[in-house]
Amino acid sequence: MVAFGISKRELRIFLERSLRTKEKELFLSLYELQGFTFSAAVRKLVDENYPGSTAKCILQRLKKFNLIDFGNHECKGKPLIFTDLGKTFFEILRGELE
């Protein structure tokens, strides 16, 4: 699959250079948390032994990279979802681990 004229290989390279190991691990954990609000997702990640502040920071960073989307101060309660780019990155990361 090619997105934005970029191959999967190029997307993988970008991902490897842009995200730290902890961010990649948390990103993979988020797949099952789609539909949760930001606060509920953070609570679940804390239950999975991520520090709350780290989880919040990484979620914000993933949103800035347009990999996930969730509500903000103006739109509270919007569920966490993977963007199209996030879904592609998820497939790439999941494939690397298998």
Q: pLDDT per residue over 79-92, tens digit each?
A: 999 999 899 889 88
* Composition of the chain by helix, strand, coil, percent to 5: 60, 5, 30
What is the H or E stretch that residue 53 is in?
helix 52-64
Query: Which of 6 and 49 is assigned the larger pLDDT?
Result: 49
Band of the pLDDT at 2, cuts 50, 70, 90? very low
pLDDT in tens, 20-74: 888 888 999 899 999 999 999 999 999 999 999 999 999 999 999 899 999 877 7
Domain ranges across the chain: 8-97
Q: Do residues 67 and 89 touch, judged by C-beta distance below 8 A? A: yes
Q: Which fold has domain 8-97?
A: Arc Repressor Mutant, subunit A (1.10.10)
pTM equals 0.80
What's the CA gap between 41 and 82, in Å, rounded?
13
For residue 56, how far is the Cα from the chain centroid?
A: 11
- Give the torsion sign (CA, 20, 47, 57, 7): positive
pLDDT score of 95 more than 70: yes
- What per-residue confidence (pLDDT) applies to 94? 83
Helix (H/G/I), strand (E/B), else coil: 78? coil
A 10 A CB-CB count for 44 gives 16
- Identify each DSSP E strand in 1-98 by its residue range: 68-69, 81-82
